Amino acid sequence: MEQTTIVSFYLFLLYISTCPQVLHSAITSDHHHRHRHQRHDRRSVKLFVFGDSYADTGNSGKSATGSWKPPYGITFPGKPAGRFSDGRVLTDYIASFLGIRSLVPYELRNTEEKSTLRNGMNFAYGGTGVFETLVSAPNMTTQIDFLQQLVEEKLYTKSDLDSSVALVSLGGNDYAAYFLKGNQSQDFSAVSTSIVNQLVVNIKRINDLGVRKLLVTAIEPMGCLPAATSIFSSYQNCSESMNAGSRFHNQILHQKVEDLKKQTTTRSTFVILDLYNAFLSAIQQQKHLQQAGNSTRSENPLMPCCVGVSSEYSCGSVDEKSGANKYTVCSNPERSFFWDMEHLSQNGWHAVYSAIKSSLRPLR
């Protein structure tokens, strides 16, 4: 993978991401008993989320990111709420699968009633990584520290963790930080190995705290993000060289997670959510629909719904003097795949969730 391509992409990508800116009734008494027991388990499950902007539901600072400003949140919940999308993100869809409500962000834990914390908590912060990035927010190690502290404070018990699920969605911002810091003494393969190794160390720590079921996202096809396709192909084609970097990361991740499985108890479950192929599948499906009908701005899956009016602006930008909006929003956000230059729309996350839903079965 060419380093110049990666550098150019991530310089642009980090700028975008830090700019102010998802029964049948019982026929025997035994079946009925087991069914009631299963429903009880579903109600008691908790979800703990560690991640970046793909999983953040409101932790990032209101003054630092555009996720708290219009037009973010226009689809759900109808106003900006800290999600890097027009609506629901991956965290919301995983929570829905588990039969629980969307999680309270860690930063808002003291403003909510204690009863709302029973479903778990979201520790994800936009722009963060496995290691320190150029965004001043808690990295994965610190996010896990937050959970450990809450356990020590008795907000969550060991029993709570034993019946809970962890979602881990990190990695992309670490590559951005590496190249932007100019520390390129190692080649890309060494950087990827280092990132994945630390990621797996952190996953093991979550497991050692008592969480038995862990979901880990593979990295998406980075060459398909609008920040890349806008530069290389005017939103028409993905960058294969950049996608090769994603595949390399994911290959190492699969190997290391398999090694981790061999080291842990049989009661632990590790599932890798294949965002790479889920993205590609959804993009290809929408391309077919585009080719079969009218070709509009919102139907091109590689084109973001919300963009700045020029290269110096991004989704959510406002003129400091006049207060005028310096962005445009597509007419049909519900048909878009990407929301802005880096993040998916609610429709995009729903499509990705539909593609990975079958891999969530081990959580039941």
Give φ, ψ of 225 to 5 degrees.
-65, 140
Q: Judge contact between 148 and 138, C-beta under 8 A.
A: no
- State the Cα–Cα distance between residues 228 and 341, nearest whole angstrom: 8
- State the Cα–Cα distance between residues 61 and 92, nearest whole angstrom: 20
**Structure confidence at residue 183 as a pLDDT band (50, 70, 90):** low
User: Between the CA of residue 93 and those of 87, 90, 99, 311, what are the distances in Å?
Assistant: 11, 5, 10, 32
**Terminus-to-terminus CA distance in the chain, angstroms?**
39
- What single string gives the DSSP state of each residue in 96-149? HHTT-PPPPBGGGTTTS-GGGGGGEEE---TT--SS--SS-S--HHHHHHHHHH
pLDDT tens-place string over residues 13-45: 443 343 333 323 332 333 333 333 333 344 479
- State the Cα–Cα distance between residues 36 and 44, nearest whole angstrom: 13
List residues with catalytic annotation: 53, 340, 343
Residue 250 has pLDDT above 60, yes or no: yes
**Structure confidence at residue 316 as a pLDDT band (50, 70, 90):** very high
- Report the DSSP pairing between strands 327-329 and 306-308: antiparallel
Q: Judge contact between 356 and 273, C-beta under 8 A.
A: yes
Specify the pTM: 0.87
Average pLDDT over residues 330-351: 96
User: 3-class DSSP state for residue 168?
Assistant: strand
pLDDT tens-place string over residues 213-245: 999 999 999 999 999 999 989 999 999 998 999
* Eight-class DSSP state of 325: B
pLDDT tens-place string over residues 263-276: 987 789 999 999 99
- State the Cα–Cα distance between residues 339 and 348, nearest whole angstrom: 8
Out of 133-147, 167-181, 322-336, pick the least confident: 167-181
- State the Cα–Cα distance between residues 186 and 324, nearest whole angstrom: 45
- State the Cα–Cα distance between residues 329 and 308, nearest whole angstrom: 9
Q: What share of the chain is helix, strand, coil (3-state, %, to 5)?
A: 50, 10, 40
Question: What was the pLDDT predicted at 306?
Answer: 97
Tell me the domain boundaries of the chain: 3-15+38-279
CATH of 3-15+38-279, one of 3.40.50.1110, 3.30.470.10, 3.40.50.2300, 3.40.50.300: 3.40.50.1110
